[in-house]
Structure 1
Amino acid sequence: MKKPHYLHFDSHELKIRLDPHEPEFVQNPYEAYTFFHAHCPIFFWEDYGFWCLASYNDVNRTFRDRRFGRQRPGGYMASVQARGERSHLEHFDRAETGSMLELEPPEHTRLRTLVNRAFVARQVEKLRPRAEALAHRLIDGFEAKGSVDLIEAFATPIPATIIAEMMGVPAETGPQLVAWSNDMVRMYMHQPTRQDEEQANASAKAFSDFIRFHADERRSNPGDDLLSVLISARENGEKLTEDELVSSAILLLNAGHEATVHQTGNAVRTILQQGGDPRRFFETPEQAAASVEECLRFDAPLHMFTRHVYEEVEIAPGMTFRPGQQIGLLLGAANTDPSEFVNPLAFQPGRADQKNVTFGAGIHFCIGAPLARLEMQAALAVLFQRLPDLRLAKTPHYRDIFHFHGLDELVVEWG
């Protein structure tokens, strides 16, 4: 495997220098991943300052290993404050502190138990008609135009509307929720600017105020929505604190659409690039499920998740991770590991070796995975049924936010 020209590799120290903003890498990270698999499935990424795992087995095993976890040593605030003065991130940090995504048992277990019932497959399945109806309504709105940006007009409104309705906040606030979410997730990119940080903080404050306003309404007029559940649920006699309530609601609203938007856009791009009639991938529910699963593997919406090391772990002969270290798990690389997937860079729905780690694994396995799968199966089946001659009108480009791997726009045409 030839080394990509933008990647610098020290084979003795297993160190990589690779700017995650490098345009060629942003548009096609799989070239670098192929090099990693061949030469350094475990490497130190100098630009981030931590070790990374690229092989499927290492990523899958580490997700499940309780010697690694999401919660930062000393807690979220102690960890971030050690990086320097952060008063300009007061509201962002407050929103993140109580997020179940950043916690480990027993706190994580308590919070996750409160919301888990709404996301189990049998409950989510009831939302299929709603997802299909939304897809039809959106296409009705733009079909006559002959061309549209599918990210804005289709991929974003469906998951944003459904999660807003599940939470019990007005569906018409969906675009605002998406805007706040986009601002906040920029904090996970490599070296966000001061402007990025201040915008994320402002959006976190606005988002938190929004949740508190609607929570106050639900206390007076509870319903069967998730916000009411979070307010009233008790686990071992405890209610959520106000900050936990806000953090949990923000996490669910953000996670309820962010990755699904990216994955829907990536999936449409992938399927259109196969050529031929796209309906062939969605003729039956079984084909739809297999096609969506392969889309999740082939071009995942999230390419890195980090873990903190809690105990000394020998990850490979002569290579030991020590408590306090942070490591990166490369999901996009794991999903295209040639030692685990036959012809990994080929799109093959129904493949016998389907076992992607796009939604993670272990106790932090994505709680919204059943919902994301359903939304994509329903939306894509309707899209290609209604517009079977859909085609790319412009070459799509990925946004420059490694971790989150999604298109900035997806302009298509038909007719």
Structure 2
Amino acid sequence: MSTTAMRTIASAMVMWAAFLATGALAQAGDNGTVVEEKTKTEPELLSQKCQPNENNEFVFKVNLWEYQYEVEGCEGVAPTLEIKRGVEYTLTQKDPTNWFHPLGLAYYPDGAHDDVPELEEPTPAECDEDQFKCNPGEGVKQAPLYCIGGECETYEDWNNGTVSGLDVYEPAFQIPEDQWEEAVSDAPASYSVKITIPEDSKTKEFYYFCHIHSGMSGLMVVTDPAEDANELVTPLASDYYGAPPEAFDVQCGTYDNVTTFNVDKDTYCPGMTFLCDPTGTPFSQCMEAIDCKMNYEMRVKEKETNKLAVFMEQMIPHHWNAILMSRIALKHAMDSEGFDDEDLNVPQLLRNIINVQMQQIQEMEGWLEKYSEPTVVCPAAK
């Protein structure tokens, strides 16, 4: 998938975790409407510096609303992990939200999604090219060692498909979630990634990312780099994480520029109501807004020469609606009767919808970029 397609996904889904003092958070007013409230003076909670715990471990989880990694004990999303040369660190993925989010390590954001060199053994030849310049040094071995159930691969059997290398680790994250969770509960450190940057390495910065979903990268910084350490040719794009969300998106838990479909609903969906006898509560407003968004974005111009493109152009906003509904439910419906049903694991169901359909959207975006002209959204119905 190209950089353009992935940036579209990233900017649509990702936000800054908090605002500056002049920012706003959403609260429910007395009449159920969404109002703005000034936040306390605090730094932006994005890419905050993050230290390992006493076991040199970073314990990961995934924020399903902002769709970024978080690390236990560290503030915000997409934290910058600080490490030192010569020390082995463990990136642990035991929290249930990690399902469908196997970690990878690359010299530039998004790794395989963006066709950039990853930390591998041996070092990829591309690291010697001018567009990357990421070779850690002749003979230096630095690559993620994947572990399943406490059994970790080594450089001697690195990713040979028989121990627990990436070719085993990544598929394990795509088995049914209840099976994945059972494995985690049986062995708290069941899924993890070990990384050591050697003393003689020239690497100063690299990225963790998700092997299944693009747009989820975060920086790892060597705090005691070599004097001749490499400088990244292309730093993380300033708009990689998108723009801060507006109050309505924060209140809904959508983080997908839904506000305009609430404020200008009569423009996008004139005369339309998607919930019968709506209550006007924040939940009701959020559902009306995302349904209007889907309705508007599914009005695409038919392409007579490529019916499959039409299918995907309409399916993408349909999938987005399912994702946004799931996020709203996770934020607003946890007190609903049946949320803790013994037969249906509702939180797991909602996570499944978010994660699987997000991947399918990325696949369809990539296909459309290869085989179709840009999508044309028709004017709102009158």
Q: So what's the TM-score if we normalise by structure 2?
A: 0.26
Considering Cα pairs closer than 8 Å and 6+ residues apart, tell me whether 1 or 2 has the greater RCO.
1
Which has a greater percent of helix?
1
Which has a greater percent of strand?
2
